[in-house]
Chain A
């Protein structure tokens, strides 16, 4: 009952909803970059929505399943297939023992997610399965996956029918409400007011391109140089996922899942939580535009996404139960 990593891919790691409660020790929350894709994949296979999943960039991993499994792929569509059968994203899929899951091309998006019914047998670190590479803890041995790693599958109480055939179940999760494309909405950060009048205008009228130095810690952007009217020296304080910091060279960085817990650069804004899944799926070289919104709108949009997730979970439970009874 295991999955063998034949090729690790560019960077494949175990992630869940993240590690909360330890930021006062400098231990960042981490977790899936695209939390909604992780939740969707889990919902499709009847897992708790925060079950650990595989998160991968392209080139994606090649995985050999040594047991039959119910899986779901969500997030980026990297043109998955097993043994010659194409697999779509956002469907539950049964794959038989011996299947080799591979990804054949980079479609839309940056990060793919694989959920397996029952999840993986892993050791929790500080209440989370997320991989913290800096601390070398969590996930699978605290690191990205390597060729030859063997991931043990948990038993799932709802035992699946074993079959020699790969089958894509006929319902698809509707994920559009989770994703925003440009422009990305932000609320003002504490230091937004320190920007010069012109810089404030340019921040919302011009584009910002994601630079190659971007990773799970943050997206470095190349855009119009922004200027502060006063001194930019600040005393370090906490930052969060989505915080847009202004670096001394006038360029911005958006903090992502593996961000540091504290920072001392001016915070000119915060991408709203509801727009972070869409942002996570933007890659190097793509251009971002920003539009201001308010806190009330940001909260409302997050609540709406949460309601959509609940509906999606309910629908998946009904469908899967019907399938099992069938």
Chain B
């Protein structure tokens, strides 16, 4: 982290945000993930959550506990000092990224916006599928819903803004596009992304100790499956 500029600011009275940039770019997010892994590996006392986002990382801490352990000191200042030290210790070495391959059925029944997106892009639906499955995406952050990973960057040829009127119900597993982002709805939810397909995998499995299929910093590649394969995989999942 030598020389990388950052700012720190309070996010309320029990959290602090480290801002490492203000763009959606891979090098900045890589830095975010390095700090995230460093803080996860060697947790600071009284920290209850570490939340990486596109270009920032937020540390949620227990103000009352810090003040009790260090009377007379501001919990924010104390946390800030500790984090400045940690940032200095965050190395430049690469950490391993997981590559998660996700099957998607791009059938029009499961991807109701696929045809419209193809028209918008001026290409065939097959070309949309080809382009969507050709990119290796990065999980920039997880938010909105439990296990909802924001993946980027979508090839400019198939970008499309979100719908003006969100759908009241998007089915769990639906794969959508919103501008340069793509993502998968982990649970049934209202949503405004352009839905182009559906995965038979569970993005959120509350019976597992690690309940979410994707974690911040993961790499994702989609591959196309038929309706039969989709049904088969979905059935074997529920057994």
Name A residues whose Cβ lies closer than 8 Å to a Cβ of B.
20-29, 125-126, 132, 134-137, 142, 187, 189-190, 235-243, 260-263, 267, 270-273, 295-296, 298-299, 302-303, 305-306
Q: A23-B51, A237-B19, A299-B67 are in contact. List 9 more A-B contacts (CB 8 A).
A: A20-B48, A27-B146, A135-B146, A136-B187, A243-B11, A260-B143, A295-B10, A298-B13, A299-B74
**A235–B22 CB distance below 8 A:** yes
Q: Shortest Cβ distance from A130 into chain B, in angstroms?
A: 13
Among B10, B19, B23, B50: residue with most chain A CB under 10 A: B10
Assess whether B147 is interfacial by the CB under 8 Å rule.
Answer: yes
Please list the 3 inter-chain residue pairs (A to B) with the smallest Cβ-Cβ separation, ordered nearest first. Answer: A262-B143, A238-B58, A270-B12
**B211–A240 CB distance below 8 A:** no
Residues in B1-45 with C-beta less than 8 Å from chain A:
9-15, 17, 19, 22-24, 36
Assess whether B64 is interfacial by the CB under 8 Å rule.
Answer: yes
| Interface bits B141-163 vs A (CB < 8 Å: 1, else 0) | 11111111010000000000000
**A24–B36 CB distance below 8 A:** yes
> Which residues from chain A contact B63 at a C-beta distance below 8 Å?
273, 299, 302-303
Q: Shortest Cβ distance from A117 into chain B, in angstroms?
A: 25
> Which residues from chain A contact B75 at a C-beta distance below 8 Å?
299
DSSP class of B's interface residues: helix, strand, loop or mixed?
Answer: mixed
| Chain A residue with the shortest CB-CB distance to B28 | A235
- Cα-based distance from A260 to B51 in the complex (angstroms): 12
What are 9 A-B contacts defined by CB distance under 8 Å?
A20-B48, A126-B211, A190-B9, A238-B17, A262-B143, A270-B10, A271-B12, A272-B13, A299-B76
**A20–B49 CB distance below 8 A:** yes
Q: Shortest Cβ distance from A245 into chain B, in angstroms?
A: 12
> Would A24 and B216 be within 8 Å (CB), given that A136-B206, A260-B144, A262-B144 are in contact?
yes
> Which residues from chain A contact B142 at a C-beta distance below 8 Å?
24-26, 261
**B60–A240 CB distance below 8 A:** yes
| Chain B residue with the shortest CB-CB distance to A274 | B13
| Chain A residue with the shortest CB-CB distance to B66 | A299
- Of B48, B68, B146, the contact of A132 (CB 8 Å cutoff): B146
> Which residues from chain A contact B204 at a C-beta distance below 8 Å?
135
> Which residues from chain A contact B53 at a C-beta distance below 8 Å?
235-238, 262
Among B24, B36, B53, B145: residue with most chain A CB under 10 A: B53
**B12–A26 CB distance below 8 A:** no
**B15–A142 CB distance below 8 A:** no
Assess whether B199 is interfacial by the CB under 8 Å rule.
Answer: no
Name B residues whose Cβ lies closer than 8 Å to a Cβ of A.
9-15, 17, 19, 22-24, 36, 48-56, 58, 60, 63-64, 67-68, 74-76, 141-148, 150, 187, 189, 204, 206, 211-212, 215-216
> Which residues from chain B contact A303 at a C-beta distance below 8 Å?
63-64, 67-68
**A187–B13 CB distance below 8 A:** yes
Q: Shortest Cβ distance from B52 into chain A, in angstroms?
A: 6
Q: Shortest Cβ distance from A187 into chain B, in angstroms?
A: 7
Q: Shortest Cβ distance from B26 into chain A, in angstroms?
A: 14
- Of A23, A190, A296, A306, the contact of B49 (CB 8 Å cutoff): A23
**A236–B54 CB distance below 8 A:** yes
Among B148, B206, B215: residue with most chain A CB under 10 A: B206
Q: Shortest Cβ distance from A104 into chain B, in angstroms?
A: 36
**A295–B56 CB distance below 8 A:** no
> Which residues from chain A contact B24 at a C-beta distance below 8 Å?
235
- Of B52, B150, B206, the contact of A24 (CB 8 Å cutoff): B52
- Of B11, B52, B55, B74, the contact of A240 (CB 8 Å cutoff): B11
**A187–B10 CB distance below 8 A:** yes
| Chain B residue with the shortest CB-CB distance to A300 | B67
- Of A134, A236, A239, the contact of B187 (CB 8 Å cutoff): A134
| Chain B residue with the shortest CB-CB distance to A301 | B13
**B147–A25 CB distance below 8 A:** yes
**B12–A240 CB distance below 8 A:** yes
Q: Shortest Cβ distance from B193 into chain A, in angstroms?
A: 14
Q: Shortest Cβ distance from A83 into chain B, in angstroms?
A: 39
> Which residues from chain B contact A242 at a C-beta distance below 8 Å?
12
- Cα-based distance from A235 to B141 in the complex (angstroms): 11
- Cα-based distance from A164 to B187 in the complex (angstroms): 48
**A21–B55 CB distance below 8 A:** no
> Would A273 and B14 be within 8 Å (CB), given that A135-B146, A136-B206, A261-B143 are in contact?
yes
- Cα-based distance from A271 to B24 in the complex (angstroms): 29
